[in-house]
Structure 1
Amino acid sequence: MTDRPSVLVVDDKENMCHLVARILGDAYQVKTVEDGARALALIRTREFDVVVTDIRMPGADGFEVLRAIKQHAPDTEVILMTAYATVPRAVEAIKEGAYDYLSKPFDPDEVSLVVARALERKQLKAQAASLRRELNGVYGFQNLIGKSAPMRALYGLLERAAGLAITVLITGETGTGKELVARAIHHHGPRKNKPFIAVNCGALPSELIESELFGHVRGAFTGAGETKMGLVEAASGGTLFLDEIGELPLAVQVKLNRMLQDKEVRRVGEATARRIDVRVITATHRDLKAEVAAGRFREDLYYRLNVFPVQLPPLRERREDIPLLAMHFVQKAAKTYRLPVDGLEPEALRVLTGYAWPGNVRQLENAIERAVAITSGTRVGTSALPPEVLGESQGAVANDPLVKLPFREAVDLVRDRASRDYLIALLREFGGNVTRAAERAGMERESLHRLLKRFGLRSDDFKEPAA
Structure 2
Amino acid sequence: MTQSSSTPFSRISATSLPVWLVEDEADVRDSLSQWLEVSGLEVRAFSRAREALKALQSDQQCGVLISDIKMPEMDGLALFAAVQELNTPPPVILITGHGDVPMAVAAIQQGAWDFVQKPFDPERLEECARRALEHRALALENLQLQQALRQNHLSTRLLGDASGMQALRRQVENLAASRANVVINGETGSGKEVVARALHDFGTGSQGAFVALNCGAMNSELIESELFGHEKGAFTGAGERRIGRLEAASHGTLFLDEIESLPLSAQVKLLRALQEGEITRLGSNQVIRLHLRVVAASKENLLEMVAKGDFREDLYYRLAIAELAIPPLRERREDIPLLFRHFCHQAAEVHERPLREPTTELLTALSNHRWPGNLRELRNIATRFILGLDLPWQSSPRPPHQACALSARMEAFEATVLKETLQRHQGNIQAVLDELDLPRRTLNQKMQRHQLRREDFLVP
TM-score range (shorter-chain normalised) is 0.5 to 0.7
2:186 pairs with 172, 176, 187, which one?
172
Distance in 2, matches of 1:140 and 1:425, equals 21
Cα deviation, 1:60-106, whole Å, max 9, x if unaligned, reads xxxxxxxxxxxxxxxxxxxxxxxxxxxxxxxxxxxxxxxxxxxxxxx
Query: Equivalents in 2 of 1:328, 1:302: separation in Å?
Result: 35
Instruction: Report how many aligned residue pairs link the two structures.
Output: 294
- Matched position secondary structure for 1:190: coil
The equivalent position to 1:242 in structure 2, one of 256, 265, 268, is 256
Percent identity among equivalent residues?
A: 42
**What is the CA–CA distance in structure 1 between the aligned matches of 2:298 and 2:430, rounded to whole Å?**
40
Deviations 1:149-173 (A, max 9, x none): 1111110000011111110100011
Separation in structure 1 between the aligned mates of residue 169 and residue 188 of structure 2, nearest angstrom:
20
Q: Distance in 2 between matches of 1:288 and 1:333?
A: 35
Aligned match of 1:386: 392
Deviation for aligned residue 1:219 = 2.5
Q: Separation in 2 of the partners of 1:441 and 1:390?
A: 39
- 3-state SS, counterpart of residue 362 of structure 1: helix
Map of 1:347 onto structure 2: 361
Q: Which residue of 1 aligns with 2:123?
A: none
* CA RMSD between the two structures: 3.9
Structure 1 residue ranges without an equivalent (≥5): 1-136, 376-383, 403-412, 430-436, 460-467
CA–CA distance in 2 between the matches of 1:440 and 1:255? 65
Per the alignment, residue 164 of structure 2 pairs with 150
Q: Is the 8 A contact 2:393 2:399 kept in 1?
A: no
Change (3 A) 1:419 1:367: closer
In the alignment, the residues of structure 2 paired with residue 391 and residue 354 of structure 1 have an alpha-carbon distance, to the nearest angstrom, of 17
Match of 1:201 in 2: 215
Task: Tell me the CA shift for residue 325 of structure 1.
Answer: 0.7
* 1:456 shift after superposition: 11
Q: Deviations over 1:335-361 (max 9, x none)?
A: 111111332122211211111101111
Q: Secondary structure at the match of 1:310?
A: strand
Structure 2: gaps (5+ residues) = 1-150, 452-460
1:279 pairs with 288, 293, 299, which one? 293
Distance 1:340 1:205 in 2: 42
Please state whether the residue corresponding to 1:241 is helix, strand or coil.
Answer: strand
- Give distance in 1, aligned partners of 2:323 and 2:387: 38
Select which of 314, 331, 343 maps to 2:345: 331
1:218 to 204, 208, 232: 232
CA distance, structure 2, for counterparts of residue 328 and residue 342 of structure 1: 12
- TM-score, with structure 2 as normaliser: 0.56
Q: Indicate the SS of the match to 2:345.
A: helix
CA distance in 1, matches of 2:443, 2:156: 37
CA 1:286/1:395 → structure 2, altered by over 3 Å: closer, same or farther? closer
Structure 1 counterpart of 2:215, one-letter code:
C
Deviates further, 264-273 or 279-288: 264-273
**AA paired with 2:341?**
M
Structure 1 runs, 4 residues or longer, greater than 4 Å off: 137-140, 388-397, 399-402, 417-426, 437-444, 447-459
Question: 1:276 & 1:179 partners in 2: Cα distance?
Answer: 22
Do 1:367 and 1:385's aligned partners in 2 also have CA atoms closer than 8 Å? yes
Contact 2:334/2:416 (CA < 8 Å) preserved in 1? no
Q: CA offsets, 1:16-59, max 9 Å, x none? A: xxxxxxxxxxxxxxxxxxxxxxxxxxxxxxxxxxxxxxxxxxxx
Contact 1:352 1:389 in 2 (8 A): no
Q: In 2, distance between residues paired with 1:289 and 1:306?
A: 10
Partners in 2 of 1:332 and 1:240 — Cα distance? Answer: 27
- Equivalent runs, 1:348-387 vs 2, <5 Å: 348-374=362-388, 384-387=390-393
How far apart are residue 191 of structure 1 and its match? Answer: 2.0
C-alpha spacing 1:274/1:325, structure 2 compared with 1 (3 Å): same
